[in-house]
Amino acid sequence: MNKGLLIVVSAPSGCGKGTILGEVLKEDNFYYSVSATTRCPREGEVNGVNYHFISKEEFQERIDSNGMLEYAEYCGNYYGTPRKEVEQMRLEGKDVILEIEVKGAMKVRTLCPDAIFVFIAPPSVKELERRLRKRGTETDDVIAKRVSEAANELTYAPKYDYLIVNGALEKAVDDFKTVIKAEKLKACYATEILDEVINNA
């Protein structure tokens, strides 16, 4: 069995990546890696589903015990990817999705050269600000921080393998699925199929 893909997705806050991934994750073979964070839960967020909400001390312990594949600070909070689950799921053949910010993604780029990097951009930074205000889960201060962070994050987009602009949801979901399909067609993942082609009578 082939190892599952490792798909790293980054997008400025409010780009709609959660909605896109929600659609993609309806398909079977994906495993969404639940990150750990020191941020407080938003209304409706569930511990162990959206994030593992942990204290700064516990976060530090996990770093010290090599429990994080990567971690980064974002707008004053820490976020990190639990190493064990990601490796385990890939070995079981599941395609693992990491939804992480750009600095963490660049660390994964170095650590896992076989990972696929997808950047989701808003149609414009102004539209992103409008979406964040509409969501209404952050204060004006936090929105301003996130909009300015978004401008910085967009400068990382050329370092990714694929860029998807989330103007219309359906098209963005379709683009995402096309990326995965193309990756699966790569000859390096087709060794078993090639064996059959060569050996079957």
- Binding region for ligand 5GP (CB under 6 A): 13, 35, 39, 70-72, 74, 79-81, 99-101, 104
Residue 35 buriedness (CB in 10 A; 0-12 / 13-18 / 19+): buried
Q: Which CB sits closer to ligand 5GP, 83 or 190?
A: 83
User: To the nearest whole angstrom, how small is the minimum distance from the Cβ of residue 180 to ligand 5GP?
Assistant: 19
- Bridge pairing between strands 77-82 and 68-74: antiparallel
User: To the nearest whole angstrom, how small is the minimum distance from the Cβ of residue 72 to ligand 5GP?
Assistant: 4
Q: Which CB sits closer to ligand 5GP, 4 or 104?
A: 104
Q: Give me the residues paired with residue 71 across strands.
A: 80
Q: Any idea which residue has 């593992």 for tokens?
A: 52
User: To the nearest whole angstrom, how small is the minimum distance from the Cβ of residue 151 to ligand 5GP?
Assistant: 14
User: To the nearest whole angstrom, how small is the minimum distance from the Cβ of residue 126 to ligand 5GP?
Assistant: 19
Instruction: Detail the DSSP E strand segments found in 50-113.
Output: 52-53, 68-74, 77-82, 95-99
Q: Which CB sits closer to ligand 5GP, 95 or 99?
A: 99
User: To the nearest whole angstrom, how small is the minimum distance from the Cβ of residue 190 to ligand 5GP?
Assistant: 31
Q: Which CB sits closer to ligand 5GP, 74 or 117?
A: 74
Q: Any idea which residue has 């401008």 for tokens?
A: 151
- How far apart CA 78 and CA 74 sit, in angstroms, is 6
- How far apart CA 1 and CA 89 sit, in angstroms, is 13
Q: Which CB sits closer to ligand 5GP, 95 or 101?
A: 101
User: To the nearest whole angstrom, how small is the minimum distance from the Cβ of residue 13 to ligand 5GP?
Assistant: 5
- How far apart CA 142 and CA 129 sit, in angstroms, is 11
Chain residue whose CB lies nearest ligand 5GP: 104
Q: Which CB sits closer to ligand 5GP, 70 or 95?
A: 70
- How far apart CA 28 and CA 178 sit, in angstroms, is 16
- How far apart CA 61 and CA 132 sit, in angstroms, is 33
